[in-house]
């Protein structure tokens, strides 16, 4: 499956409705971004059941700012609308393939329970 270009207009819908979504924040002038691109494209072809999207940070500066992108490439992963991974830097193919496997294997009920527990602790700390 080819990668999907994300913009301010389709970002939220893609994340919320896409199931498992990987997002590559990149720019055409960025050497490491261009080096990582074939690995990202190969992963998208090897995992057609997942969404692989790209955000051109030059074209989508507002979106990059909203996502606090300060270094590119930055790879993010979302599962069931929840951000589960974010890291700046080009990943070697075996590392990226391992990341895809780890995100695929995540137990989202456990992730949601962990988020709820953290929010509970945070709200108790603010209430004291």
Pairing of β 51-56 and β 4-5: parallel
Residue 128 is a catalytic residue? no
Residue (of 77, 68, 94, 84) closest to 24 by Cα position? 77
Catalytic residue among 21, 23, 30, 67: 30
- List, in order, residues 6 or more apart from 51 with CB less than 8 Å away: 4, 14, 18, 19, 20, 21, 22
Catalytic residue among 15, 23, 33, 50: 33
Residue 61 is a catalytic residue? no
- Catalytic residue annotation: 30, 33
């Amino acid at each position: 499956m080819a990668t999907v270009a994300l913009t301010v207009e389709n970002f939220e819908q893609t994340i919320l409705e896409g199931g498992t979504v990987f997002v590559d924040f990149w720019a055409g002038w960025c050497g490491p971004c261009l080096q990582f691109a074939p690995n990202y494209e190969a992963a998208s072809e090897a995992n057609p059941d997942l969404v692989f999207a790209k955000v051109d940070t030059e074209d989508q500066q507002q979106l990059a700012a909203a996502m606090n992108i300060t270094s590119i490439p930055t790879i993010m992963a979302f599962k069931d609308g929840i951000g589960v991974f974010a890291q700046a830097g080009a990943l070697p193919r075996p590392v990226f393939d391992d990341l895809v496997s780890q995100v695929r294997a995540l137990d989202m009920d456990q992730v949601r329970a962990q988020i709820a527990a953290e929010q509970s602790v945070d709200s108790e700390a603010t209430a004291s």
